[in-house]
Structure 1
């Protein structure tokens, strides 16, 4: 049994629904943690502050993820081929859902509103220094995290799942995890993490812009491409676009100077220049309200694709 294009779209739809309803499977070791363990093991034994050694790390992790993804897909499609087709699709969707993170992302940012120590809650979400952040700064960091990771944790993995199946989403998460662990411009990772960081920029180029467009679309904000000019100001070629789109739609200014690893980094502001730079609870609530609208739009697009695919398949079978 080979998955058809319509099968992959159905898997993506079910994976999104599972992530929405269930979220993380707390009783299993998360695939991203396993990828992180492999990255740490490579670094422990083979680290050198060179681009070549970092390239070998990237090749090893990404190649291993691709091979594991292909092996899992082969097992599901061939070894389980005698199972009813829907059962195999559901198993595949459950596995794919572990690599989507919309519910976890939403709940993690929402937690900032329900804790007396948002600085501590934020430590698990961002790489910036959090201990001296004001409440407004914590809320701003949470909104930026939601906007940026809406691409990294939802749209991009879904995009590569639709294009390449399980191997695609697993390879993407491997690249993204590499960037989050070694893709920093610090003394230790400046050279070692360069290939990982550049590869992450490349694979996120399309999904980041798709994410910004989705944010504008679900908020009926025109022109849809209005985020682009400001989004280009960000040091990252990708992160600025969904962050700008979110700022424009919840009427605040995000960005600004930020401290990373004890050093001040100058950053541009994103959003309407007349909007407030003081971020309040209402801004976080407005940001998180995008979750349902974006999910519903994705469900609709995937269902529409399945219907169109079945129509064409029906016409093709009868034409023959």
Structure 2
């Protein structure tokens, strides 16, 4: 287990956030775009080759970095590896991006940078609802999942996960262009996020004031969405706040019918999103506490 590395990487992300350099995820995105321009065909095979190629590249680069860091003194190696690993964690960036909806002059435009759904005709309630769903779902994708694979496999684990998640965010859509090309990326991402999504949901339940309601909504609604993973943290968040999330949304000009998660006990507004974002402190304390315990016992 890599508890010391994970704890230090989490602290680096908490304190410094994103570094002012080209982010590894951006480099992965450049690779995906380059591959797509040259080899795109809406068939499963080219998409599968992209998945294998990017995962292999992420694995090679990360293992090379681990080898090179092994030549350094142990304390310095740990610091350098933690800095690299912290680029795969996104708590600060996620929190700040969603919190921007609270102060933006044009919340719909701010939201459009975060979600793939159409935002132009959204009501204020729909904007904050989408913000809540983004916060809940991406606590898994951007924080718990990469931390999970960092703990299991070190830097190569978090690098491979970020490659998988980046491909999912760029090509795993059921549109005419990506239906087959992105299918392998979608399946691999579903597998990679299966455990982390459920761990994230349990973490949200642990932080809820009404834990029983949060657990009941998670148990009842967690598997209602088309995605095998996204519904779990969203249902837990809905139960924790006593609101209804999910429901119909517009994607690429077409209405997609989705079930409702949670209970409409409270309105979804700016104060609701504020309460959800305040969970950041509790999440940081729990995660760092568990990592510290793991480091001491390992």
Q: TM-score, normalised by structure 2?
A: 0.97
Aligned residue number for residue 275 of structure 2 = 286
33, 40, 43: which one aligns with 1:47: 40
Q: How far 1:306 sits from its partner (Å)?
A: 1.4
**Structure 2 residue matching 1:222: 3-state secondary structure:** helix
Structure 1: stretches of 5+ with no match in the other structure: 310-320
Q: How far 1:307 sits from its partner (Å)?
A: 1.6
Q: In the aligned structure 2, how far is the partner of 1:92 from the partner of 1:224?
A: 37
Q: In the aligned structure 1, how far is the partner of 2:122 from the partner of 2:18?
A: 29
CA contact 1:159–1:207 (8 Å) conserved in 2 = yes
Residues 243-254 of structure 1 aligned to structure 2 (within 5 Å):
243-254=234-245
Aligned residue number for residue 71 of structure 1 = 64
Q: What are the Cα deviations for residues 212-237 of structure 1, in whole angstroms up to 9, with x where unaligned?
A: 00000122513774303201111100
Q: How far 1:51 sits from its partner (Å)?
A: 0.5
Q: How far 1:188 sits from its partner (Å)?
A: 0.3
Regions of 4+ moved over 6 Å: none
255, 262, 265: which one aligns with 1:275: 265
Q: Indicate the RMSD between aligned Cα atoms, in angstroms.
A: 1.2
- Residue-pair matches, total: 296
Aligned residue number for residue 101 of structure 1 = 90
52, 56, 61: which one aligns with 2:54: 61
Residues 138-287 of structure 1 aligned to structure 2 (within 5 Å):
138-219=127-208, 221-222=211-212, 225-226=215-216, 227-272=218-263, 274-276=264-266, 278-287=267-276
Aligned residue number for residue 317 of structure 1 = none
Structure 2: stretches of 5+ with no match in the other structure: none
Q: TM-score, normalised by structure 1?
A: 0.90
Q: In the aligned structure 2, how far is the partner of 1:90 from the partner of 1:256?
A: 44
Aligned residue number for residue 8 of structure 2 = 14
Larger radius of gyration: 1
Q: What are the Cα deviations for residues 13-54 of structure 1, in whole angstroms up to 9, with x where unaligned?
A: 1111111111111x2100000000000000000001100111
